[in-house]
Structure 1
Amino acid sequence: MNRRKVKKKMVIIFSCIGALFIIAFASLFIISGIFEKPKYLNPWQKTYWQKFDDPRIQLAAHGLLASNGHNMQPWKIRLDKNNPGVFYLYADSELLTSQVDPAARQMMVTQGTFLEYVNIAGDELGYSVTIGLFPEGDYNEQKLSESMKTKPVAKVTLTKTNPKINPLYNFIFLPDTNRAEYLSTGLTSEQIKQLENTNADADLSIKIFQDKENMNKLNNYAMQGATIEADVDRIMKESENIFRANEYQKNKYRYGFSVEGQGTSGIMQHIMQGLVTVFPGMNSGKAASDTFVQSTRKSVNNTPAYALIVTEDNSRSSQVKSGMLYSRLILKAHQLGLVMQPLSQALEEYPEMKKPYSSIHHDYAPDGNTIQMLLRLGKPTEEVPQSMRRDVMDLIAQ
């Protein structure tokens, strides 16, 4: 009789534990926002641009999908009130990441990625796109943030023409960055040739490496840069401040980092979002630093090739042009069945990164040239989710 009572109590206990587990599991999904509609993904729809009548906004809706530093999407658009075929692109100084990018070089590269997506979309929508960089002169570097508000990066002029097929257009709607493992298969000589041919500017160059010696050197630079960055508290705090833990935050802000950027999707995405919301320490301090270094090591260990984008100088125009080239490179890579991920920490310009910055430039960009991007490159082992995007109307300055 006692055994029956004990057995009955055990059944009740395990049933309670099971019920608590189910409740806890369901709570994580609710906290994650599993029932929240992901409005931040709307701009990725191929018909999104059709919601707008103004061709300038239609093209900006394509530019919005471009690669950008830290997913800040720091673009502002001013529509010319007197000419319906003209708009101006400004760098949004309210979205500077001044700790990791104190010289705003990455910010300028990001302006270029936007412009090239606009240029490519123009073909498909039937507009010839003319881009004039810094039409009102260069920034005042001593008052950079204020200067960004008054001086445009580019004047964009649209001229109506016949639509034409651009072979890169459809790849605009794919995620620009893939942080997953890549196959060990190297690039073919034809793939390298086609990637290098995306550059038509004599002041810019693309360098692709997949030999053992250079792979080891660039692996070391990638790891050295990530390790240094992970140990700089103010840099990691800046990243923590733009991390969106759940669907509610992602819909509210629609820019910054999220668990998708770490390659998490599906059910695990919501489990992780719920856990990080309840236990924010999982994504801060030493835990965040360790995750960042481990993620970089995994990437480095599964990379068959690297690419560098190098400019002859480090002017603001060269930075923007390198971003335009980067967009073409991404889209051409997609067309070839390849993907990319920037591993550019060693190129950042804060004091703690001075040694690897100088060293990598000594090795790969002598004679005063500047490396604007360091990218891992290869054939993907898996697809990755799309990242947050703002509504294009949030970019339009009133």
Structure 2
Amino acid sequence: MSKRTVKKTMTIILSSIGAVFIIALASLLVISGIFESAKYLEPWQKTYSQKFDDPRIQLAAHGLLAANGHNMQPWKIRLDKDDPMVFYLYADNDRLPNEVDPFARQMIITQGTFLEYVKIAGDELGYKAAVELFPNGGYDEQILQASMKIKPVAKIRLTKDQPQNNPLYDSLFLPDTNRAAYQSDKLTSEQIDQLEATNTDVNMSIKIFQDKENIEKQGSYAMKSATIEAGVSRVMQETDTIFRANEYQKNKYRYGFSVEGQGTSGIMQHILQGLVTVFPSLNSGKAASEMFIQSTRTSVDNTPAYAMIITNDNSRSSQVKSGMLYSRLVLTAHRLGLVMQPLSQVLEEYPEMKEPYSGIHRDYASDGGTIQMLVRLGKPTKEVPQSMRGDVMDLIIRE
């Protein structure tokens, strides 16, 4: 075979390989839904709430952006029929992840994050939002899920007021969680003072740690609990059921997890989405467990500081208030150029997590308090995309 023939043959082979690659890539992008409009991101637009005339829905549209456990967005609202300035917030028990949150503690904290966003948005839009917790009494814990359906977490009464510039308002529209690596810079004393000042409740405390001993100890708890969780198949399966592999699924469900939660964006996001749609095993079973552990390792190895929210008791009201405090904390962090990520596994209350749960409470809440939140914080190394959000009208209880 002549050199010319060999060269021509190689050219044909390379061209064929290139064509196959392009076709495969294009197929993955189509499967990912690259041309699909991301309706699940519409609530992040500052103009989104302006589509509604009712101020209660306008404020709920802001509450929808709040941090929430497992991105389940477990909120329902009932508009008072007789008073156009009153509405009620309910915990949506249909969105309760029973395996990781068997006592609904994280779900009730999530009610508080919503309420604080409502209050902050109220300042900006010219409404004072007065919050009354459990106006119809507390839950019957023996029939918790049934009780959630009939008893509101909060009654919110609006009073027309002059719009006020709330310094935290613009931060409502930023992603609440950044799972990427953080810069190694320690927090300044001024930053710590401002973060700690977000708490004004004597029954709660914020503790910030950035010394080597506590960084290593809390990182160890995070890794141990992540390893335990990765090995509990029913927990990982629960997570898998709320994973949205592509744009079509994200637009259909608008809650749960997706690949951009790990910071993937742009063309790589769509390639990965296409791959996990075609090959679901890439994001389930052993692969998912290993990915989760590796993600936690990256977080732990690149964390300059941790923070805890600790309450004196573990009442439902304290859980809600800790969520309200967490919203103020993360929004203040944004203003200071910082980002945060909850490391919630060690605080979860299913049987396999008992040992590290008891250990971290023994080390950091030995006086009988409850650690409601453990988070890492620091300066980001990169921005992360916004996560899915539902339509605010889907929160309304139809009567």
1:194 matched to 2:202? The reply is: no
Number of the residue aligned with 1:20: 20
Distance in 2 between residues matched to 1:124 and 1:5, nearest whole Å:
74
Number of the residue aligned with 1:109: 109
Number of the residue aligned with 2:345: 345
1:311-390 equivalences in 2 (<5 Å) = 311-390=311-390
Q: Which amino acid aligns with 1:21?
A: F
Structure 1 residue 366, shift from structure 2 partner:
1.3
Distance in 2 between residues matched to 1:54 and 1:387, nearest whole Å:
26
Number of the residue aligned with 1:89: 89
Aligned to 2:208, the other structure's residue is in SS state strand
After TM superposition, the score normalised by the length of structure 2 is: 0.99
Distance in 1 between residues matched to 2:295 and 2:188, nearest whole Å:
27
Q: Which amino acid aligns with 2:362?
A: H
Structure 1 residue 6, shift from structure 2 partner:
3.4
Structure 1 residue 368, shift from structure 2 partner:
1.2
Aligned to 2:121, the other structure's residue is in SS state helix
Q: Which amino acid aligns with 1:95?
A: R
Structure 1 residue 374, shift from structure 2 partner:
0.3
Distance in 2 between residues matched to 1:105 and 1:271, nearest whole Å:
36
Distance in 2 between residues matched to 1:3 and 1:174, nearest whole Å:
60
Q: Deviations over 1:329-386 (max 9, x none)?
A: 0000001110100012111000000000000000001121000000001011111100
1:43-82 equivalences in 2 (<5 Å) = 43-82=43-82
Distance in 2 between residues matched to 1:2 and 1:383, nearest whole Å:
55
5+ long unaligned stretches in structure 1: none
Structure 1 residue 2, shift from structure 2 partner:
4.3
Number of the residue aligned with 1:218: 218
Q: Deviations over 1:209-264 (max 9, x none)?
A: 00111111101011111110000000000000000000000000000000010110
Number of the residue aligned with 1:303: 303
Number of the residue aligned with 1:272: 272
The number of residues matched between the two structures is 398
Structure 1 residue 159, shift from structure 2 partner:
0.4
Structure 1 residue 3, shift from structure 2 partner:
4.0
Q: Deviations over 1:308-334 (max 9, x none)?
A: 000000011000000000000000000
Distance in 2 between residues matched to 1:222 and 1:189, nearest whole Å:
25
Number of the residue aligned with 1:167: 167
Q: Deviations over 1:289-316 (max 9, x none)?
A: 0000000000000000000000000011
Distance in 1 between residues matched to 2:142 and 2:78, nearest whole Å:
24
Q: Which amino acid aligns with 1:171?
A: S
Distance in 1 between residues matched to 2:233 and 2:42, nearest whole Å:
34
1:149 matched to 2:149? The reply is: yes
1:6 matched to 2:6? The reply is: yes
Distance in 2 between residues matched to 1:276 and 1:12, nearest whole Å:
31
Distance in 2 between residues matched to 1:189 and 1:38, nearest whole Å:
41
Number of the residue aligned with 2:251: 251
Aligned to 1:147, the other structure's residue is in SS state helix
Q: Which amino acid aligns with 2:312?
A: E
Distance in 2 between residues matched to 1:126 and 1:21, nearest whole Å:
56
Structure 1 residue 15, shift from structure 2 partner:
1.2
Distance in 2 between residues matched to 1:377 and 1:11, nearest whole Å:
53
